[in-house]
Chain A
Amino acid sequence: MSLTDTIVALATPAGTGAIGVIRLSGADAIQIANSIFTGKDLSKQASHTLHFGKITNGNVVIDEVLASIFVAPNSYTKENSVEISCHGSAYIISQIIKLILSKGARMAKAGEFTMRAFLNGQLDLSQAEAVADLIASQNAASHQIAMNQMRGGFSSELQALRSELINFASLVELELDFSEEDVEFANRTQMKNLILQILKVITRLINSFELGNVIKNGIPVVIAGKPNVGKSTLLNALLNEERAIVSEIAGTTRDTIEDEMSIQGLRFRFIDTAGIRETDDVIEAKGVARSMEKINSSAVILYVYDASKTSLSELQTIIAEFKPIIEKNNSTLFLVENKSDKNTAAPYEIEGLRHIQISALLKTGMQTLENELVKLVDLAALASGESIVSNLRHAEALQNAATALEKVLNGIDNPITSDFLAMDIKQALQHLGEITGSISTDDLLDNIFSKFCIGK
């Protein structure tokens, strides 16, 4: 794959829309566009200008279009770029792209515009990843994270951390390289405090990964319960469509069914499961095992029960059974009393658990359930614009940095010599650098020379 040629792709979703935007990028982008464009000479137009004209193939007019000109380096890819807005017919679009290809451009690979933006220094790695996330974001919250990250919010927080750490590393280097001189030594208590402070921020970022991740991929909500308590009916009510087959027959749902739904801008992934019971039916038994698996891997468990058929003590036994699972996975258990239309008795009082009465069939109580689900997400963190990590690579790098910093702490407590401390610090810096760009020894020395009086 060459990185210097001119690439073309349809920038709007395929299918018939009112308009389609075809994007070209590369050294020859403007020249190629100009060769099929009848109107002004595009090669002589200023950057960031818009021009009306016709796309023609020989004498045949294909469409009337608007061409936007971006002259390198003032474009997203930092290359010459043209965006042609044409009418949104699949035929017209394919004709124009074919024509452009015949003039020497080639089809862009998935993500290639962003890759070029990265390779040309427009974006750093985490920003480029954010663009990919942004394009894929399907709900308000993940859109916000991706936007924040693309604007550098995430990188800049790490940059700040990095420079604190460089300060610290410089002090240790100073101790090592200028040990013969009258230099100040790195105060171990202060060092420790600094590391603890940095660890706190890193830990917060690591923890935010869980939040970032669920926002990006949808919060898994499993609907569990005994057979025939109305789990599938609840799923259908939440999705507002007949997704699962419902019947009066216990054990109708034999396998798990998943679907996604955006509630108040947050993406949830609902998983309907086979009712849990002892069964001799081989297929149903497999379904039950699958249910347990899903319960174990979900952030939220909606435990649905039929109050008319479940006693308080029975319910308490079930809660006790769930307890270890919840504790292990740090998940949340919701009690959902279904069929409130049939059962008029007051709900059981159970302390410390969210408890909602609904009728999935009549769709009553659904709004309350949705509100409760949204409440689970730490919206405060989102709204405050705090950095949230939503990318596995970043989370791993942070985790590695944290491990290295823990080692430094350990090294301070059980004194190891500062050259080994320095090595652990360097490791931490390197892991942070994997996200934002790496540290060089020149950074350290510059820091030393600018701050400390050294030299015999």
Chain B
Amino acid sequence: MKLLIVDDSSVVRRAIERDLESGEITEVDQAATGEDALRLYAAKLHDVVTLDITMPGMDGLTCLDKIIEINPEARVLIISALRDKATAIDAIKRGASGFLCKPINPPELKEAFKLLIED
């Protein structure tokens, strides 16, 4: 299983990678911007993408739209500090499979990931 972690914070990217380490994941890519994420996703069509929203350049919701354009079945878990319901609903309407708020709670993240790959 291929995982793509998109967040402008390297600390967050590594924390997500550590939290999700399991035998199921065979390959992990990381991107610090929406633009890099799209390049990686188009080349590898990762099984799961974790995606931040507030990033320099292309924001996460625009990146989400473009990932869904590439693959309408993409499994994208938004992980964002933006804790308002309107943003979460907007992300789900645009095709996200789930929405988690920062600060990251590792058991919650693992559970969300499990649900995503079982789907």
Same complex for A and B? Answer no
